Amino acid sequence: MDDWLVSMPKVELHAHLNGSIRDSTLLQLAKALGEKGVIDFSEVEHVILKSDRSIVEVFKLFDLIHILTTDHKTVTRITKEVIADFASENVVYLELRTTPKRNDSIGMTKRSYMEAVVKGLRAESSVDVVFMSYTANGGSFVNSLPSNDEYNGKTRKKIYVRLLLSIDRRETTAAAMETVMLAVEMRHLGVVGIDLSGNPLVGEWATYLPALEFARDQGLYITFTVERCVHVPNRQEVQAMLEFSPQRIGHAIFFEEEDWRKLKSSKIPVEICLTSNIRTMSVRSLDVHHFVDLYNGKHPLVLCTDDSGVFSTSVSNEYKIAASSFGLGKREMFELAKSAVEFIFADDAMKNDLRKIFDSSVKNLGL
Ligand code: 6MZ
């Protein structure tokens, strides 16, 4: 089953760049900063290698990861590695999200952070990474890299990548607005949408609303994490988020029956991250996970990793968990993976290409 799941084409729509870093890279970066005396490596090593974390600890880990990764060279490196990792398990279309960061001490602006990400997309030569570029004459979008099928004598895997810029719940209205403006300006580099994420214990919906409305007016796609904690089941925010009617919703963890009814009638696709929900204890156990209810009700769903590095998972592994926990067979998993094509933030031409990739894999998958 493991090999079969890896060979199945997959679509990943909820992956945070800094949560998807390899442990080995994090440890290497931590060691280097330890040697420079910036951090105490012995303390940090234990934090990186710990496997079960509460949601509070997860966000502490993100603060540490950001100390390790927020310089241009490292941002480029981790982007390159993350793309290669998703491509290696046959993710054929990836929407990668990241929070543009400012770091005055090294001259990093949100824009230069994003330029470092784009450099990472261009840097991976073992994989055919296809993202967008704008042609000055026709005004249409085309793939920016020529397709080259060979690398070191082997067929290169091809992955379509689009970018979502995240607003962190810690940010001010002005900072959120800056991110949306950057997204508008970077459309020609494959930026297609905006995400709102970050520690659900922090921040107010009213702070981000102007930026989200502006993003919507500009024609950007929008997704956000609706993930209330047991400690702060902020009913009003959940209602306001559903009312906003984004194109997709991440996690969808809330408590009131009325909110579920609203979600189900809205048909807004949900990005489900099983391992993340269990590891952060946002959902008690898989047998009570809302996947079952939504899947049985044929609600649009996509299985995603959230943070494959932080939670030591992969897209294939998320399907494996769905198979073993919810009894999905190969045909059902294939249909679930293929259905995600309908929820991507792209036009029909892109969707058609992806449908063809799925259809042409049926025979090899023995379906
Ligand atoms: C909410 C999350 C998240 O943007 O620096 N992030 N926000 N819930 C989650 N599930 C547990 N996982 C990741 O990637 C890391 C950032 O993504 C958001 C947090 O803001 C985190 O700091 P980037 O590339």
Q: What is the structure's pLDDT at 140?
A: 44
> Average pLDDT for residues 47-56, to the nearest whole number?
78
Question: Residue 348, CB half-sphere, CA atoms under 13 Å: how many?
Answer: 0
Q: Is 280 in the pocket of ligand 1 (CB under 6 A)?
A: yes
- 227 burial class (0-12, 13-18, 19+ CB within 10 angstroms)? buried
For ligand 1, atom 17, the nearest C-alpha belongs to 16
What distance in angstroms lies between residue 1's CA and the mean position of ligand 1's atoms?
A: 30
Report whether 67 contacts 33 (CB < 8 A): yes
Question: Which band of pLDDT confidence, cut at 50, 70 and 90, is reported for residue 133?
Answer: low
Q: State the pLDDT at residue 300.
A: 98
3-state SS assignment for residue 337 = helix
Closest atom of ligand 1 to 17 CA is 24
Assess whether the C-beta atom of 306 lies below 6 angstroms from ligand 1. Answer: yes
Amino acid, single-letter form, for residue 364: N
Name the nearest CA neighbour of 91 among 146, 125, 132, 129: 129
Task: Reduce the DSSP state of residue 37 to 3 states and report it.
Answer: coil
Query: Which region among 152-156, 257-261, 286-290, 307-311 has the lowest average model confidence (pLDDT)?
Result: 152-156
CA distance 276 to 58: 10
Amino acid residing at 149: D
82 Cα–ligand 1 center, Å: 15
Ligand 1 close to Cβ of residue 168 (< 6 A): yes
Measured in Å, residue 250 CA sits from the centre of ligand 1 at: 11
d(CA 33, CA 359): 47
- Distance from the alpha carbon of residue 337 to the mean position of ligand 1, in angstroms: 23
Query: What is the SS3 assignment for 222-276?
Result: EEEEEECCCCCCCHHHHHHHHHHCCCEEEEEECCCHHHHHHHHHHCCCEEECHHH
Cβ of 305 closer than 6 Å to ligand 1, yes or no, is: no
Rounded distance, CA 337 to CA 314, Å?
A: 14
Q: Is the CB of 314 under 6 A from ligand 1?
A: no
Domain boundaries of the chain, sorted by first residue:
2-21+69-361
| Residue closest by Cα to atom 5 of ligand 1 | 18
Q: Are the CB atoms for 50 and 93 separated by under 8 Å? A: no
Confirm or reject: Cβ of 17 under 6 Å from ligand 1: yes
What mean pLDDT comes out for the span 36-58? 83
pTM score: 0.95
Give me ligand 1 centre to Cα 71, in Å.
18
Report CA(320)–ligand 1 centroid distance (Å).
23
Distance of CA 343 to CAs 94, 191, 268, 303, 339, Å? 12, 16, 9, 12, 8
Ligand 1 within 6 A of CB of 98: yes
CATH code at 2-21+69-361: 3.20.20.140
Best of 195, 279, 307 for a ligand 1 pocket test (most atoms within 8 Å of beta carbon): 307
199-208, 227-236, 306-315: the lowest-pLDDT one: 227-236
Residue of 65, 166, 237, 312 with the most ligand 1 atoms within 8 Å of its CB, for mutation: 166
Atom 1 of ligand 1, residue of closest alpha carbon? 198
CB atoms near residue 298 (< 10 Å): 10
Q: Say how far apart CA 171 and CA 181 lie, in whole Å.
A: 15
- The pLDDT value recorded for residue 12 is 98
Q: What is the reported pLDDT for 146?
A: 45
Instruction: Specify which residues 25 forms β-bridges with.
Output: none
Contact in structure between 202 and 232 (CB atoms under 8 Å): no
Q: Check if 16 has its Cβ closer than 6 Å to any atom of ligand 1.
A: yes
pLDDT at residue 148, as a whole number? 52
What is the predicted pLDDT for the residue at 272?
98
Q: Is the CB of 282 under 6 A from ligand 1?
A: no
Q: What are phi and psi of 358, to 5 degrees?
A: -65, -50
Summarize pLDDT for 207-241 with one digit per residue, the tens. 999 999 999 999 999 999 887 655 556 788 999 99
DSSP H or E segment with residue 3:
helix 2-7
